[in-house]
């Protein structure tokens, strides 16, 4: 299935609203012309001083932003609200209060316009976001979903048919970046902060574990990495004559911080690449999609690009990433999935416009629904 406005789907204009965490994303997706407009407000600055997302502040900020952003995308796309054929919103998983803002807004708008409201699974949004790029993947493909809360390997056979190949037993890769960054006194979100520091660092000075690298399955575990980072931080602080106490980030010198960041990034990406290759091998798939916030990591992209090249021993495979601007949370992926779902299941009972949300919503539930 090619999606990016290649004229295969009937013409339909879908408004997508994403408010599951700390980004308010709104977009207009046209099933014929592709993405018409998108707007994003990131709350990163607001949460930075707390070292992580404060749910109540997140909800209040979504309330302030969602309607102005909706007006903005309508203006940029040059459309009237009445031109919208459906409103898609992130129904879960995510922060309950934050989700409720998007769900209420979407359901109210859809009700007022007399069009369907479609609750979308946030991870399905990430998973299918590369379909918006110029050179989209085709089903079936293997996907590595790496966001702040999830690290999963999936075999995506067709829309809604996603077989789980491997999952994280504890922390997600994004969480490992975020927690390591916090321990090292770097900012939030940790992934970009570690990547920035790592660029100045010398690899090899520190040695961190590569959890489950040789486990023989496709599961991940990153919580041990965080403990190893904490040990290294404490050791470095003690060597510098600092007294360390639990809950207080040690002050590392610049070179130590950069060298440790380089090793954190190496360790996490080594595991992600090795498991992705194992998944390609196990399924025999020829396309690998990497999506979710961590897919913005340039070292991960680079290592995978090298690993995907054909050699004498394997034929190689094709790699797909979302556009960099669509790696982290956004409204475009939600509008896209809303459109695809509506096309695939036109007979589904119309939404009752009750803004229900599913803060904990395993992706596997989508598959059960599909199987039912
Ligand atoms: O998908 P996402 O925007 O939100 C969730 O659905 O969780 O992912 C956020 C995660 C955070 O953990 C953040 O540190 C990580 O993505 N991230 C990165 C990079 N940019 C964002 N991790 C590594 N390198 C990056 N460049
Ligand atoms: Zn996300």
pLDDT along the chain (372 residues), means of 10: 53 96 97 95 92 93 98 98 97 97 98 96 97 95 95 96 96 96 92 97 94 94 96 90 69 93 98 97 96 96 96 91 93 97 75 92 79 54
Position 245 scores a pLDDT of 66
Q: What is the distance in A from the centroid of ligand 1 to the CA of 189?
A: 7
Q: What is the distance in A from the centroid of ligand 2 to the CA of 43?
A: 14
Ligand nearest to the CA of residue 327, numbered in listed order? 1
Q: What is the distance in A from the centroid of ligand 1 to the CA of 235?
A: 28
Among 267, 294, 322, 360, which residue has the most ligand 1 atoms within 8 Å of its CB, making it the best to mutate? Answer: 294
Q: Which atom of ligand 1 lies closest to the CA of 173?
A: 12
Q: Is this model's pTM higher than 0.85 or not?
A: yes
Q: Which atom of ligand 1 lies closest to the CA of 23?
A: 3
Among 177, 270, 299, which residue has the most ligand 1 atoms within 8 Å of its CB, making it the best to mutate? Answer: 177
Provide the 3-class DSSP secondary structure of residue 237. Answer: helix
Provide the 3-class DSSP secondary structure of residue 66. Answer: helix
Q: What is the DSSP letter of 168?
A: B
Token digits for 48?
């930075």
Position 5 scores a pLDDT of 52
Position 239 scores a pLDDT of 87
Position 318 scores a pLDDT of 98
Position 251 scores a pLDDT of 80
Q: Which CATH class is domain 13-130+326-371?
A: alpha beta
Q: Which atom of ligand 1 lies closest to the CA of 149?
A: 7
Position 6 scores a pLDDT of 44
Q: Whose CA is nearest to atom 21 of ligand 1?
A: 293
Among 143, 174, 192, 299, which residue has the most ligand 1 atoms within 8 Å of its CB, making it the best to mutate? Answer: 174
The residues, any chain, with a CB within 8 Å of residue 310's CB and separated by 6 or more, are: 316
Among 42, 189, 195, which residue has the most ligand 1 atoms within 8 Å of its CB, making it the best to mutate? Answer: 189
Position 9 scores a pLDDT of 59
Question: Where does the chain hold its CATH 3.30.420.40 domain(s)?
Answer: 13-130+326-371, 136-321
Position 344 scores a pLDDT of 87
Q: What is the distance in A from the centroid of ligand 1 to the CA of 328?
A: 6
What is the CATH T-level fold of the domain 136-321, as seen in this structure? Nucleotidyltransferase; domain 5 (3.30.420)
pLDDT, one tens digit per residue, over 170-187 is 999 999 999 999 999 998
Between CA 219 and CA 221 the distance in angstroms is 7
Q: What is the distance in A from the centroid of ligand 1 to the CA of 282?
A: 27
- Are 210 and 314 a contacting pair, CB within 8 Å? no
The reply to whether omega before 189 is within 30° of 0 (cis) is: yes
Pocket of ligand 1 (CB under 6 A): 21, 126, 147-149, 174, 177-178, 189-192, 195, 292-294, 296-297, 328-329
Position 367 scores a pLDDT of 75
Ligand nearest to the CA of residue 292, numbered in listed order? 1
Q: Whose CA is nearest to atom 26 of ligand 1?
A: 297
Between CA 286 and CA 303 the distance in angstroms is 17
Q: Whose CA is nearest to atom 2 of ligand 1?
A: 293
The dihedral over CA atoms of 163, 169, 171, 172, expressed in degrees to the nearest 10, equals: -20
Q: Whose CA is nearest to atom 10 of ligand 1?
A: 148
Between CA 316 and CA 328 the distance in angstroms is 27
Residue whose entry in the numeric block shows the structure tokens 């293997």:
142
Position 364 scores a pLDDT of 85
Q: What is the distance in A from the centroid of ligand 1 to the CA of 76?
A: 27
């Amino acid at each position: 299935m090619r999606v990016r406005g290649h004229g295969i789907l009937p013409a339909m204009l879908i408004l997508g609203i994403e408010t599951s965490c700390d980004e308010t994303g709104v977009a207009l997706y046209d099933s014929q012309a592709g993405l018409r407009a998108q707007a994003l407000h990131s709350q990163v600055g607001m949460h930075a001083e707390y070292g992580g997302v404060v749910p109540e502040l997140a909800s209040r900020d979504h309330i302030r932003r969602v309607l102005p952003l909706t007006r903005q995308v309508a203006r940029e796309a040059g459309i009237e609200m009445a031109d919208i054929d459906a409103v898609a919103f992130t129904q879960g998983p995510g922060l309950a209060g934050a989700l409720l803002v998007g769900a209420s807004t979407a359901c109210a708008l859809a009700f007022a316009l007399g069009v369907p409201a479609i609750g979308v699974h946030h991870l399905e949004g990430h998973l299918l976001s590369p379909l918006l790029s110029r050179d989209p993947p085709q089903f079936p493909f293997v996907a590595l979903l790496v966001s702040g809360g999830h690290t999963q390997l999936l075999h995506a056979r067709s829309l809604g048919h996603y077989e789980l190949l491997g999952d994280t037993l504890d922390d997600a890769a994004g969480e490992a970046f975020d927690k390591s960054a916090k321990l090292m006194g770097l900012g939030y979100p940790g992934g970009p902060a570690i990547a920035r520091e790592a660029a100045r660092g010398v690899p090899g000075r520190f040695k961190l574990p590569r959890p489950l690298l040789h486990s023989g399955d496709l599961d991940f575990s990153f919580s041990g990495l965080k403990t190893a980072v904490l040990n290294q931080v404490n050791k470095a602080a003690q060597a510098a004559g600092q007294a360390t106490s639990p809950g207080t980030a040690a002050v590392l010198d610049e070179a130590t911080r950069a060298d440790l960041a380089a090793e954190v990034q190496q360790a996490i990406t080594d595991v992600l690449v090795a498991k992705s290759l194992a998944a390609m091998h196990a399924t025999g798939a020829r396309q690998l999609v990497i999506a979710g916030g961590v897919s913005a990591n340039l070292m991960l992209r680079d290592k995978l690009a090298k690993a995907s090249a054909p050699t004498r021993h394997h034929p190689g495979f094709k790699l797909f990433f979302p556009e960099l601007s669509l790696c982290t949370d956004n409204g475009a992926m939600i509008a896209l999935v809303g459109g695809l779902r509506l096309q695939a299941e036109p007979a589904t009972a119309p939404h009752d416009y009750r803004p229900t949300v599913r803060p904990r919503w395993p992706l596997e539930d989508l598959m059960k629904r599909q199987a039912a």
